[in-house]
Structure 1
Amino acid sequence: MKNGLEDVIAAETQLSDVDGEAGRLIIRGVSLDHLVSTATYESVAALLLDGLTERQFAPAELRPWLGEMRERLFAHVTALDSQLLALPPVDVMRALIARLPDGEDFEAALRLLAAPAVFLPAILRLQAGNDPVAPDGSLSQATDILHMLTGELPSAEQTAALDAYLVTICDHGLNASTFASRVIASTQAGLTSSVLAAISALKGPLHGGAPGPVLDMFDAIGTEGNARGWLGQALDRGERLMGFGHRIYRVRDPRADALKQALRPLVSAGQVDRQRIELAEAVERAALAILKERKPDRPLDVNVEFYTALLLDALGFPRGSFTGVFAIGRTVGWIAHAREQALEGRLIRPRSVYVGPLPKAA
């Protein structure tokens, strides 16, 4: 037995391979580097869902279907009231998704792909005191998300950056939320139930809650010259440096470099604060140096959260919404794993080792 199921094989999958020693991520036979440079959200969703639903379709067909579904689901926004809107964005989004019927078919999968993309921008606008913006089904998923968030059509660079993010985080092996999705799917409860379980796991701070605190760290450091001193004091207090280290990767998280690359067109177009990027790069250099000095026996490098924070902030998402944005991209992975488990797996029912007291003899 291994506590936390570390290194325990719990499923066979054709969806993604995470090589922590080599720092490599493969999605259905395609390397992350290639996907980020060539794929859109729609094309990677088609790649992950291929053969896992009753409907066969070409990647190009998914865009209009998703657009139509976004328009249909906008009606659920009227269910938002002041009590719901007082909750964190990811909790409100989860409540709206819970209104959707369960199912295992393509229609159910399509609803769940579109739902978080519609719900989160509407929630954020309502929480800011603004009216929600209705989706435009003629737009791509990434373009429409930003359109619904700001009320304006995004630039090509902004759409490409969000597409790169959604592609980068679409799937990542048997992490906590994906495993939760597969456990629920193994009971044949339905895709909505699987996605709700996954969101509930994702919102935990040990899984999907760290990108926001990366920005808090940048704010606290302030200038490049303060980086090493602030980071050293944080380690002296026993604090974790946000955006560094990963349970699986023993080298640099490949998703971090993919997102760092996705930020560059925004910088070149003047759509992100160059000084903010320079501060982040200084913090990265200082953190890697001090971690190597203080913890030479632990492989701590940049993870996906570090540049996620910068990219989503540059696109206008408030830091309290980052977990919800992550859910928009990861939902397709959760659905694919749920379908794979339902089609090929068994009821997941591990055993436990009893370590409590034994009954006393009379």
Structure 2
Amino acid sequence: MGDYILEQSEEKTLREFSRMAEKSSSINPELYSKYQVKRGLRDLDGRGVLVGLTEIGEVHSYILDEGEIVPVPGRLIYRGYDIADLVKGFKEDNRYGFEETTYLLLFGQLPDQQALENFQQLLAQYQRLPEDFARDVILKAPSRDIMNTIARSVLALYSFDDNPDDTTISNVLKQCLGLIACFPSLAVYGYQAYSHYHDNQSLYIHSPRTKLSTAENILSMLRPDSNYTKLEAKLLDLALVLHAEHGGGNNSSFVTHVVTSTGTDTYSAMSAAIGALKGPRHGGANIKVVQMFEDIKDKLKDWQDDEEIERYLTQILTKEAFDRSGLIYGIGHAVYSISDPRAVILKEYVAQLAREKGLEDEFNLYAAVERLAPQVISKSNKMYKGVSANVDFYSGFVYRMLNIPIEMFTPIFAISRIVGWSAHRIEEIVNSGKIIRPAYKSVAPRRNYIRMFERTEEKTYEKNV
């Protein structure tokens, strides 16, 4: 009884402190306009505020015509190469592309056959985790969130590094290659620990195989029987390529630049980037897309009826359906308007896998929502730019068709994006920039100090004293 009273008292105290914290943190929204604050580091017209330069990735979505922004079909450029050309190249050669893409993003040029083989052999040497790491670090403290597991594992690897704080390029590159190579194991083992200890499933720990590609190893380690088809592996490989980099302005890559600019170690910088990607506004968006479509499939009577689909999308926008957020997930992007090139590329191969899996009706539903959602949004909202399906719209569907559990969706994003983070960390170190510290204007009123015996809640917390 005494414990219950203490718990109730603690909850009451926390509620009161929460109220106070919320009250003291509230800023008048009009002040952001008054002081011309670029919220989200973006102008009102959607253009990002220029805070740095990069040669790694470029996101192209508009041209300027006599000072006017003219949207164009989106393009994604890796080290000067259009992503569509890169994908076409390794697809026509019938080979996997993620390792080649990794080489390109890190070293700025495409490898020849021998250079690629040497690079793949080097990555293979770094695949295995330190002895007993999986048991002592991952399995002994299983988390319900795999991104949390990966972040903890990355920080733990600091302790296994003989020279963790050395920020010379040779050492940082070695650290980054090690993380790129072992991220699939960190993610999959983290999931297997979750599945076993929190979901009461059998525990499977398969070692990575040096002869397999990254995509093949993910499927091999994730599945109890380690079996997968060539098309499954090729589609996962494509998803990894498309997620590997998205310019220096995306949230987690910018975090990598910010944290790296302090001079800290690689493990701290990468764990910070993982924390950024974990957020549902960034890496977790495709989970919301899948959940939204489960709701759509459940509520619609006829998946082929455009009018019924349009009515339900309108209900989502007006916060009457799904999670009542007013968002049609997977539609719209901070940069792209006419099209997201990643979604365009992915859609073609999604259709192939959907046919193989007997899920053409569901794919057609996705295609219908992709077609109708921009029309519904344009009728309901005033927009400064158009909207289109982004990569998250189809990537979650891909992972579902590959029988990848939803808990692994964002970790697979991390397995891919660690490549871009690594390139951006090296770029930040090489160019020896200043510590990144943007300005924040204080709008708090000045207040007179109040002695303890004179304090009341009204006097202490009144914001306009």
2:443 aligns with: 355
Q: CA deviation at 1:51?
A: 6.2
Preserved contact between residue 181 and residue 334 of structure 1 (Cα < 8 Å): yes
Aligned equivalent of 2:340, options 253, 269, 277: 253
Preserved contact between residue 354 and residue 401 of structure 2 (Cα < 8 Å): no
Aligned equivalent of 2:175, options 104, 108, 117: 108
Output the CA distance in 2 between the equivalents of 1:59 and 1:73. Answer: 25
Output the CA distance in 1 between the equivalents of 2:138 and 2:439. Answer: 43
3-state SS of paired residue (2:362): helix
Output the CA distance in 2 between the equivalents of 1:349 and 1:149. Answer: 41
Tell me the amino acid that sits aligned with residue 233 of structure 2.
T
Output the CA distance in 2 between the equivalents of 1:37 and 1:109. Answer: 27
Q: CA deviation at 1:323?
A: 1.1
Q: TM-score scaled by structure 2?
A: 0.72
2:365 aligns with: 279
Output the CA distance in 2 between the equivalents of 1:348 and 1:46. Answer: 28
2:84 aligns with: 33
3-state SS of paired residue (1:338): helix
Tell me the amino acid that sits aligned with residue 309 of structure 2.
A
3-state SS of paired residue (1:99): helix
Q: Which runs of 5+ in 1 are unaligned?
A: none
Aligned equivalent of 1:20, options 61, 71, 95: 61
TM-aligned CA distance change 1:25 to 1:306, over 3 Å: same
Q: CA deviation at 1:190?
A: 2.2
Does residue 1:146 correspond to 2:219, yes or no?
yes
TM-aligned CA distance change 1:155 to 1:73, over 3 Å: farther
Output the CA distance in 2 between the equivalents of 1:352 and 1:326. Answer: 31
1:164 aligns with: 238
Does residue 1:332 correspond to 2:434, yes or no?
no
1:294 aligns with: 380
Q: CA deviation at 1:253?
A: 1.0
- For 1:205-240, what per-residue CA distance to the aligned partner results, in whole angstroms no more than 9, with x for missing partners? 211111011111111111514522321111111510
- For 1:127-163, what per-residue CA distance to the aligned partner results, in whole angstroms no more than 9, with x for missing partners? 2222211111121111111111114242211111111
Tell me the amino acid that sits aligned with residue 331 of structure 2.
F
TM-aligned CA distance change 1:331 to 1:133, over 3 Å: same
Output the CA distance in 2 between the equivalents of 1:345 and 1:2. Answer: 26
Output the CA distance in 2 between the equivalents of 1:99 and 1:348. Answer: 26
Identical positions, percent: 29
Range with greater deviation from structure 2 (70-79 or 207-216): 70-79
Does residue 1:8 correspond to 2:49, yes or no?
yes
Tell me the amino acid that sits aligned with residue 119 of structure 1.
L
Tell me the amino acid that sits aligned with residue 289 of structure 1.
Q
Preserved contact between residue 46 and residue 58 of structure 1 (Cα < 8 Å): no
Tell me the amino acid that sits aligned with residue 199 of structure 1.
I
Preserved contact between residue 25 and residue 172 of structure 1 (Cα < 8 Å): yes
Output the CA distance in 1 between the equivalents of 2:341 and 2:390. Answer: 8
Output the CA distance in 2 between the equivalents of 1:276 and 1:286. Answer: 15
**Higher RCO (CA < 8 A, seq sep 6+):** 1
Tell me the amino acid that sits aligned with residue 342 of structure 1.
I
Preserved contact between residue 246 and residue 303 of structure 1 (Cα < 8 Å): yes
Preserved contact between residue 67 and residue 140 of structure 1 (Cα < 8 Å): no
TM-aligned CA distance change 1:31 to 1:232, over 3 Å: same
Q: Which aligned pairs between 1:167-246 and structure 2 lie closer than 5 A? A: 167-173=241-247, 174-222=249-297, 223=300, 224=303, 225=305, 226-237=308-319, 239-246=326-333
3-state SS of paired residue (1:342): helix
Tell me the amino acid that sits aligned with residue 27 of structure 1.
Y
Q: Which aligned pairs between 1:59-98 and structure 2 lie closer than 5 A? A: 59-73=116-130, 75-80=132-137, 84-98=141-155
1:119 aligns with: 186
Q: Say how many residue pairs are matched.
A: 356
Tell me the amino acid that sits aligned with residue 294 of structure 1.
S
3-state SS of paired residue (1:121): helix
Output the CA distance in 1 between the equivalents of 2:121 and 2:288. Answer: 36
Q: CA deviation at 1:113?
A: 0.2
2:398 aligns with: 311
Q: CA deviation at 1:31?
A: 0.4
3-state SS of paired residue (1:26): strand
Q: Which runs of 5+ in 2 are unaligned?
A: 1-36, 43-47, 63-71, 91-96, 159-163, 196-200, 320-324, 450-465
Range with greater deviation from structure 2 (104-113 or 65-74): 65-74
Q: CA deviation at 1:35?
A: 1.8
TM-aligned CA distance change 1:51 to 1:219, over 3 Å: closer
TM-aligned CA distance change 1:135 to 1:25, over 3 Å: same
Tell me the amino acid that sits aligned with residue 148 of structure 1.
M
TM-aligned CA distance change 1:126 to 1:274, over 3 Å: farther
2:455 aligns with: none
Preserved contact between residue 252 and residue 277 of structure 2 (Cα < 8 Å): yes
Q: TM-score scaled by structure 1?
A: 0.91
Q: CA deviation at 1:360?
A: 6.3
